[in-house]
Amino acid sequence: MPAPPGTPSQFLRLRTPQFTHHNLAFSPFFDNHFALASGKNFGLVGNGRVHIVALDPDVPGGVRVVRGFDTQDCVYDVAWNESHENQIVAACGNGALKMFDITLEGLPIRAWHEHSAEIMSIEWNNLQKDTFVTSSWDGAIKVWTESRTTSLLTIPSSATRPSSPSHSQLYNATFSPHSPSLICSCSSDGLLNIYDIRSPTSASGTATQTIPAGMTPHQLQHHGHGKGAEILSCDWNKYVPGMIATASKDGSVKVWDLRSSSTLTTKGGIQVGRHGLAARKVAWSPHRADLLASASYDMTCRTWSTASPGTGTSHSDHTEFVMGVGWALFDEGLLASAAWDEEVHLFRV
**Residue 7 pLDDT:** 37
Q: How many structural domains comprise the chain?
A: 1
Burial 234-266 (b: 16+ CB within 10 A, else e): bbbbbebebbbbbbbbbbbbbbbbbeeeeebee
| Percent of the chain's residues with pLDDT above 90 | 82
1 belongs to a structural domain: no
303: domain range?
A: 12-348
6 belongs to a structural domain: no
Report whether pLDDT(168) > 80: yes
Region 68-86 average pLDDT: 98
Region 82-98 average pLDDT: 98
2 belongs to a structural domain: no
- Which residues lie across from 18 on neighbouring strands? none
290 belongs to a structural domain: yes
195 belongs to a structural domain: yes
> Contact at 8 Å (CB) between 217 and 228?
no
Lowest-confidence pick of 9-13, 120-124, 254-258: 9-13
CATH number of the domain that 249 lies in? 2.130.10.10
Region 95-106 average pLDDT: 96
Question: For 231-271, what is each residue's pLDDT tens digit?
Answer: 999 999 999 999 999 999 999 999 999 988 666 666 789 99
For the chain, the maximum distance between any two Cα atoms, rounded to a whole number of angstroms, is 59
| Percent of the chain's residues with pLDDT above 70 | 91
98 belongs to a structural domain: yes
Note the Cα 75 to chain centre separation in Å: 13
The whole-model pTM stands at 0.93
151 belongs to a structural domain: yes
Report whether pLDDT(2) > 80: no
Using only C-alpha atoms, what is the Rg of the chain?
19
